[in-house]
Amino acid sequence: MNDRLLEETLYHVANGYIGVRGCFEEGHKGESIRGCYINGFYDTVPLNYPEKLYGFPDEAQRLVNLPDVQTIRLFMDGEEFSLFSGEVLGHKRKLDTQKGVTYRDILWKNEKGTFEIKITRMASFVHPELFLIVYSVKSVDFSGEIELACNINCDVSNFTDENDPRVASEKIKHIFMDTNKIVGDVSIVECKTAVSKLGLSICRQFVAGGDIAHFATKNGCETRIKSKILPNQSLTTEVYTILSDTRRRNNPTQHALEKLNECFNLGAENLLQGQADFLADFWMCARVDIGGCDELNDGMEFNLYQLLQSAGRDGISNVASKGVSGEGYEGHYFWDTEIYIFPFFLFTQPETAKQLLRFRLNTLDGARNHAIVMGHKKGALYPWRTISGSECSSFFPAGSAQYHLTGDVAHAFIQYYYATDDLDFMQYGLEVLLETARLWLDTANLGSDRKYHIHSVTGPDEYTCCVSDNYYTNRTAQHNLLGAVEVYARLKKAGLHSFASDKINFDESELLEFARVGNAMFLPYDEKLGIHAQDSSFLTKPVWNLDDTPKEKFPLLLHYHPLYLYRFQVCKQADTVLSHFLFEDGVSEDVLRKSYLYYDKITTHDSSLSVCVFGIMASRLGFYEKAYSYFSETVRGDLDNTHGNTKDGLHVANLGGSWLAVACGFAGLRLRKNGLHFRFSLPKQWEEYSFRVRYHGSLLKVSVGKESKVELLSGGSVTVFIDGVETKIK
Ligand code: BGC
């Protein structure tokens, strides 16, 4: 794979709102995915089916590649700089996760002279609309004129690949320029998306070391900065670009201008310092230290930083499966957030976790509508993939049929409640829990065995679709039903239940139904093998021979028809094993172990959401070598491009999985109703490791080594369970 495309992802700068890929300012020769995005800023695209059946969505949303705001061309006495001309004496790139910036350092020469070019980029966490570039050119031995041309270019389109179902296939232009003008020193470009008619405003201003001139151009705006320089002199330019959009602001241009004014007055130095301060706070809670292994430490730091870059914090956006780093999966939000990403934020930045839940709360109407379309009389069914809340999945067997997502959302709300006891928020969150529980009531059927069964759903494993009684789904539904009863009771005791229950006409008799169905949920178990069956027919199928499958046939989804895959025992990703991680209560050690060993043999890990889970369960069961090898694969996933498609964006769920692998894997963290539980293990390759956890407003440091301990860094005392023993941390 083209390393440059990979680097564009790895060096992107983002802040959960905007994301700009790490392309070269001066442009590329050859392929590049020159991308700039706003989380949740989409266009609507028609979904065309030759045979369209009832309820298939008519349209989907697609993350829009926005006008290019990263182009800066550099001329020396009219001669253009490029890495593909002259002589490149040095070129280094760096991501600084402590300062929150990327750097490019270039030493370059042509027949006119030698130049040092230094470029710093930042997507501000403090002012999420701001993308800042500080561009500096120093002459080593050149005397003459330096000129910069900085563009906002609206002639852009999305990246497409006809041969990969994980990226868009047809070329459509999604964004058009409405106006472009220069007002004083400010360039203003206003755009609209083609079909969704969302508005975007881009405002830009410069601190320039030379003569400056602005132009409105055919496709946007251009600013030219000129200066004469001598050897040892530099020209430094600060480019302040603000992006604002109509999903968040009524008048994005006015907002962008106000923000621009604020940021411009603060100046680059203050803004960069603000970013470093923000990150110091972030790392205070998020830091993971692995003693004895720099490579893994770097990997962890990269991953956690990318999680921060990816997470929407405004309740309007969520965490796309690729963050804001690329166009894979078209910027959609999946269950990746609730199961893989949310826990990291819950335990390190609960405010962000709350915003992620607010997104689900804000899109509850979409989930209610989706339930109706899918034939339900009541309840809320969250769509498999979405941006604004409606279903965007055009392939229902591995899409809309994944009902478990609804239970995953409920699980996240319940975890939030356990970790924070934030009843103020939960009084609103209760609506989600009740509506999702109603969905299961409407979906499960009472069988002749007096158990409740769920038919025609797909579990997490997308190589096995539309089945009865997927263990993961049934277990998730059960947790949702019983969790709704529990949270309702707690809120009622606090007098905080009526906001939600009045709003949805909730009758307390429904709670009895929830409990009855939840307690009698069927959970498939195979006596002979002593394992939980993935679903009611899974174990009757032939086992796929993975050993004899040629390497080039992976991932299987790109080489076999789905129906062919569905007829075998072969898993794309963790399914029953994931359920055992999330819901261990009531499952014996023997079943946990046998199930793990069974599914480990038939899982391809073709999805990046898989290895971390197997690693966590391997730790849990004492298969330490295996746990370590899965962890190593997880932690370097994007850095080593193990799935071969990081060019399309990061695998954000896997990044979250690397934190889970340390906290829930090696340290055995589980959050239960009665508190935090740990079960420590230390990989033999490490001297020690530590991480931090926020719980009920306190900050704890968990250190595992020759001596393991949990310390209180701030807040009130906390009770935790270490190997089942209750311990007060004060
Ligand atoms: C996985 C899904 C996941 C999606 C987005 C698919 O390959 O099978 O579980 O939600 O990718 O990351």
Instruction: Identify the pLDDT of residue 459.
Output: 98
CA-based R_g, the chain, Å: 26
DSSP 305-367: HHHHHH---SSS----TTTTS--GGGG-B-THIIIIIHHHHHHH-HHHHHHHHHHHHHTHHHH
- pLDDT of 302-359, one tens digit each? 999 999 999 999 999 999 999 999 999 999 999 999 999 999 999 999 999 999 999 9
Q: Among 325, 332, 333, 334, which is best to mutate for testing ligand 1, by the most ligand atoms less than 8 A from CB? A: 334
Report the alpha-carbon distance of residue 615 to residue 597 in Å, rounded: 12
Ramachandran class of 670: left when φ > 0, alpha when ψ lies in -120 to 50, beta otherwise: beta
Q: Among 400, 609, 612, 651, which is best to mutate for testing ligand 1, by the most ligand atoms less than 8 A from CB? A: 609
Q: Which of 383, 408, 538 is nearest to 476 (CA)?
A: 408
Q: Among 310, 330, 332, 336, which is best to mutate for testing ligand 1, by the most ligand atoms less than 8 A from CB? A: 336
The response to whether residue 321 sits with its C-beta less than 6 Å from ligand 1 reads yes
Instruction: Identify the pLDDT of residue 160.
Output: 81
**Strand pairing partners for 225?**
148, 212
Report the alpha-carbon distance of residue 695 to residue 346 in Å, rounded: 9
Average per-residue pLDDT in the chain?
97
Q: What would the mean pLDDT of 225-234 be, rounded to a whole number? A: 97
Cα separations in angstroms, 196 against 7, 46, 145, 362: 31, 11, 45, 19
Ligand 1 atom closest to 653 (CA)? 12
The response to whether residue 462 sits with its C-beta less than 6 Å from ligand 1 reads yes
Report the alpha-carbon distance of residue 338 to residue 393 in Å, rounded: 18
Tokens at 82, concatenated: 């490029």
Determine the distance separating the centroid of ligand 1 and the alpha carbon of 607, expressed in angstroms: 6
- pLDDT of 484-517, one tens digit each? 999 999 999 999 999 999 999 999 999 999 999 9
Residue 294 pLDDT level (bands cut at 50, 70, 90)? confident
- pLDDT of 677-730, one tens digit each? 999 999 999 999 999 999 999 999 999 999 999 999 999 999 999 999 999 999
The response to whether residue 524 sits with its C-beta less than 6 Å from ligand 1 reads no
Instruction: Identify the pLDDT of residue 704.
Output: 98
The response to whether residue 384 sits with its C-beta less than 6 Å from ligand 1 reads no
pLDDT at 29 over 90: no
Contacts of 277 (CB under 8 A, 6+ apart): none
pLDDT at 168 over 80: no
Instruction: Identify the pLDDT of residue 164.
Output: 78
Q: Which parts of 494-521 fold into alpha helices (H)? A: 498-503, 509-519
- Output 161 or 174, whichever has higher pLDDT: 174
Residues above pLDDT 70, as percent of the chain: 100
Instruction: Identify the pLDDT of residue 615.
Output: 98
The response to whether residue 332 sits with its C-beta less than 6 Å from ligand 1 reads no
The response to whether residue 603 sits with its C-beta less than 6 Å from ligand 1 reads no
Q: What would the mean pLDDT of 46-59 be, rounded to a whole number? A: 95
- pLDDT of 81-114, one tens digit each? 999 999 999 999 999 999 999 999 999 999 999 9
Q: What would the mean pLDDT of 4-31 be, rounded to a whole number? A: 96
User: How many Cβ atoms are within 10 Å of 438's Cβ, its own excluded?
Assistant: 25
Instruction: Give backbone dihedrals phi and psi of 486, rounded to 5 degrees, phi first.
Output: -65, -45
The response to whether residue 333 sits with its C-beta less than 6 Å from ligand 1 reads no
Residue 166 pLDDT level (bands cut at 50, 70, 90)? confident
pLDDT at 1 over 70: no
Instruction: Identify the pLDDT of residue 172.
Output: 82
Using CA positions, which residue lies closest to atom 6 of ligand 1? 607
Ligand 1 atom closest to 336 (CA)? 10
Instruction: Identify the pLDDT of residue 295.
Output: 87
Q: What would the mean pLDDT of 579-602 be, rounded to a whole number? A: 98
Active-site residue list: 462
Ligand 1 atom closest to 398 (CA)? 8
Contacts of 338 (CB under 8 A, 6+ apart): 356, 405, 408, 409, 411, 412
Instruction: Identify the pLDDT of residue 30.
Output: 85
How distant is the alpha carbon of residue 444 from its chain centre?
31
Instruction: Identify the pLDDT of residue 52.
Output: 94
Report the alpha-carbon distance of residue 34 to residue 92 in Å, rounded: 20
Instruction: Identify the pLDDT of residue 426.
Output: 98
Instruction: Identify the pLDDT of residue 673.
Output: 95
pLDDT at 474 over 60: yes
Using CA positions, which residue lies closest to atom 11 of ligand 1? 607
Instruction: Identify the pLDDT of residue 677.
Output: 98
Report the alpha-carbon distance of residue 416 to residue 122 in Å, rounded: 31
Instruction: Identify the pLDDT of residue 167.
Output: 72
Instruction: Identify the pLDDT of residue 427.
Output: 98
- Considering the entire predicted model, what is its pTM? 0.98
Contact in structure between 635 and 383 (CB atoms under 8 Å): no
Instruction: Identify the pLDDT of residue 590.
Output: 98
Report the alpha-carbon distance of residue 98 to residue 111 in Å, rounded: 38
Instruction: Identify the pLDDT of residue 222.
Output: 98
